[in-house]
């Protein structure tokens, strides 16, 4: 079995390529298009595999015109691959809204796979789509539900001469959606077991990455890096263990992860992930999950918590002038945490219009700020965000009151929080105190906090330091702590 990573911008440029070659654990790249310099990849000694190479055409195996639309791509695939290579394609991802029935998708997919076998004379694999919660109660919701049923997938495997890529995030997201629709508690894990029992003999590759939860509480396929900071990782770990035990023809695992980091930083993150897999699969079986957590030095430690960086809190000209320097320092911290693969939590105060979230003072006055879906409540544009960040809404000063933040941090193994944002004398200070009372170590990022009430801010920082033994550090000091 080999470990692959997605090809990324700068992968062939020093020092990234040297890091990847010297690691000794990455076998090659997974390519999603035919525009790269394949000869340059071959010169590195890495192999490559094609996955969904027609991606830019926005078609997949379920399209009736798939073969005609991808003819130029197929010609190049035959030229760029060997007879022993496997080529994988999406099924039901792109123009599914044009398909009116699961039966039509089944027919098109089986026919297209048969034609691909004749044209390419390569092993063909397909990857099932995700059934997202956003599909529920939509025109195509029933179709997504049907084409992700284990029997449907098994029927395609039986009817077509092909194999399957098991994308663990797709399995988890689909299982969770089916659990929500059915109301059957625990069906997410049951769905994974059903899929493996029906299809494990045809699973030839695995895609592994971390999904996340959006502000609506829905799961998204963000292709995040695996680490204990994401509470969903435990579900992925369990599925991965089961898939390893049951998939008899498994040949490769792809770390299908994405990041906006610089090439050398990204290479380093992939190497960490690959080594963890390598140590588990080949040297320290059978427990992937425990070894992964034990080996990853940045798991179970630090999280960045950004408090209330919203338009409302900079609503007058004097405070608005603080946005640029404050955002600069907060973004420095975000870069530190993103580069280390550590979690970033954006905490936003948001109230409901029906008054159900209002505090006593708001109810007494009969008015509230920071109402949902208003410009006031939006995070300022200067703060960098990522699909791998977490967003949590609160309705009180402390980020820990009725938000589930404590459970999320502790489930992820976080033991230390670095807090920044506004206001020092209010929500920042109260969140820091509650974090300490809940047995988290706490650091206040003194260059990345702000208060318009200077005297109260000084009193709060003094109290945090003297009464709660909370450290107040510069960004450079925090970088050393996090990196160390």
The structure tokens listed for 246 are 């049951």
Q: Give the Cα separation of 174 and 170 in Å (integer).
A: 6
Q: Which residue has better confidence, 411 or 66?
A: 66
Q: Which domain holds residue 472?
A: 302-483
pLDDT at 285: 45
Same-domain check for residues 339 and 279: no
Question: Domain check: are 238 and 382 in the same one?
Answer: no
* Phi, psi of 177, rounded to the nearest 5 degrees: -65, -45
Q: Cis peptide leading into 286, omega within 30 of 0?
A: yes
Residue where one domain finishes, among candidates 263, 295, 327:
295
Identify the sign of the CA torsion 444, 446, 447, 449: positive
Shared domain for 205 and 333, answered yes or no, is no
CB 333 within 8 A of CB 417: no
What is the full DSSP assignment across 208-277?
Answer: E-EEEE-TTS-EEEEEEPP-TTSTTHHHHHHHHHHHHHH-TT--EEEE-----S-HHHHHHHHHHHHHHH
In DSSP terms, 471 is beta-bridged to 443
Asked whether residue 24 falls in the same domain as residue 66, the answer is yes
Report the distance separating Cα 299 and Cα 227, nearest Å.
6
Q: Does residue 428 share a domain with residue 280? A: no
**If we measure between CA atoms, which residue out of 302, 314, 298 comes closest to residue 421?**
314
Q: Count of H helices and E strands in the chain?
A: 19, 16
Residue-wise pLDDT for 97-118, tens only, equals: 555 689 999 999 999 999 999 9
Would the pLDDT of 74 be above 70? yes
For 482, the token pair is 């996090």
User: Do 217 and 266 fall within a single domain?
Assistant: yes
Taking alpha carbons only, the member of 446, 441, 439, 442 closest to residue 424 is 446
**Distance between CA atoms of residues 328 and 164, nearest Å:** 46
Report the pLDDT value the prediction gives residue 14, as an integer from 0 to 100. 82
> At residue 290, does pLDDT exceed 60?
no
Which of 14-23, 157-166, 284-293, 432-441 bottoms out in mean pLDDT, i.e. has the lowest? Answer: 284-293
Shared domain for 257 and 325, answered yes or no, is no
Last residue within a domain, chosen from 295, 323, 340: 295
Determine the Cα–Cα distance for residues 281 and 29; give it in Å rounded to an integer.
19
Please indicate, yes or no, whether residues 81 and 178 belong to a single structural domain of this protein.
Answer: yes
Helix (H, G, I), strand (E, B) or coil at 164: strand
Asked if residue 141 and residue 35 are part of one domain, the reply reads yes
Same domain for 125 and 28: yes
Tell me: pLDDT of 484 over 60.
no
**Mean pLDDT over residues 220-237, rounded?**
76
* 280 and 368 belong to one structural domain: no
How high is the pLDDT of residue 468? 95
**pTM for the complete prediction?**
0.66
The per-residue pLDDT for 294 is 40
The CATH number covering residue 361 comes to: 3.40.50.850
Give tens-digit pLDDT for 459-481: 999 999 999 999 999 999 999 88
pLDDT digits (tens, 9 = 90+) for 23-60: 888 999 999 887 767 888 888 888 899 999 887 778 89
CATH of the domain at 284: 3.20.20.150
Q: How many domains does the chain divide into?
A: 2
Q: Which of 295, 329, 358 is the last residue of a domain?
A: 295
Half-sphere exposure of residue 270: CA atoms within 13 angstroms, side-chain side: 36
3-state secondary structure 41-106: HHHCCCEEEEECCCHHHCCCCCCCCHHHHCHHHHHHHHHHCCCCCEEEEECCCCCHHHCCCHHHHH
The contacts of residue 75 (CB under 8 Å, 6+ apart) are none
- Mean pLDDT, the chain, integer: 87
Residues 286 and 324 in one domain: no
Widest Cα–Cα separation across the chain: 77
């Amino acid at each position: 079995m080999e470990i692959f990573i997605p090809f990324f911008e700068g992968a062939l440029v020093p020092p990234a390529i040297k890091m990847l070659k010297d690691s000794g654990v990455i076998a090659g790249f997974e390519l999603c298009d035919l525009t790269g310099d394949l000869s340059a990849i071959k010169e590195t000694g890495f192999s490559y595999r094609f996955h969904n190479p027609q991606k830019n055409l926005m078609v997949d195996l379920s399209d009736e015109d798939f073969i005609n639309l991808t003819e130029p791509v197929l010609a190049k695939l035959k030229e760029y691959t060997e007879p022993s290579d496997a080529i994988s394609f999406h099924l039901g991802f792109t123009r599914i809204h044009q398909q009116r029935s699961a039966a039509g998708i089944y027919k098109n997919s089986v026919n297209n796979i048969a034609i691909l076998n004749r044209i390419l004379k390569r092993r063909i694999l397909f990857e099932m789509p995700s059934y997202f919660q956003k599909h529920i109660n939509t025109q195509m919701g029933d179709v997504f539900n049907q084409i992700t049923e284990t029997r449907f997938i098994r029927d395609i495997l039986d009817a077509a001469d092909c194999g399957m890529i098991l994308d663990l995030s797709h399995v988890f997201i689909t299982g969770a959606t089916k659990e929500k629709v059915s109301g059957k508690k625990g069906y997410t894990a049951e769905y994974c077991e059903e899929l493996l029992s029906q299809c494990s003999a045809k699973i030839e590759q695995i895609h592994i990455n971390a999904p996340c939860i959006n502000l609506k509480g829905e799961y998204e396929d963000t292709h995040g890096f695996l680490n204990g900071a994401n509470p969903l990782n435990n579900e992925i770990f369990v599925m991965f263990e089961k898939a390893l035990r049951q998939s008899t023809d498994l040949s490769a695992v792809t770390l299908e992860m994405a990041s906006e980091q610089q090439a050398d930083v990204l290479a380093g993150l992939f190497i960490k992930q690959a080594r963890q897999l390598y140590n588990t699969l080949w040297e320290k079986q059978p427990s992937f999950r425990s070894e992964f957590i034990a080996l990853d030095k940045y798991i179970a430690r630090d999280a960045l918590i950004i408090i209330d960086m919203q338009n409302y809190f900079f609503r007058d000209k004097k405070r608005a002038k603080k946005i640029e320097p404050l955002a600069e320092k907060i973004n420095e911290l975000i870069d530190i945490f993103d580069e280390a693969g550590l979690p970033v939590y954006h905490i936003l105060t948001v109230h409901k219009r029906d008054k159900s979230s209002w505090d006593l003072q708001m109810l007494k006055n009969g008015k509230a700020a920071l109402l949902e879906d208003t410009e006031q409540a939006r995070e300022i544009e200067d703060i960098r965000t990522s699909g791998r960040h977490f967003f949590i809404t609160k309705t009180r000063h402390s980020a820990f009151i009725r938000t589930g933040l404590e459970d999320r941090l502790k489930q992820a193994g976080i033991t230390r929080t670095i807090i920044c944002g506004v206001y020092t004398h209010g929500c920042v200070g109260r969140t820091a105190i509650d974090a300490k009372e809940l047995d988290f170590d706490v650091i206040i990022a003194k260059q990345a906090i702000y208060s318009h009430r200077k005297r109260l801010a000084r009193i709060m920082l003094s109290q945090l330091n003297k009464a709660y033994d909370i450290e107040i550090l510069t960004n450079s000091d925090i970088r050393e702590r996090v990196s160390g």
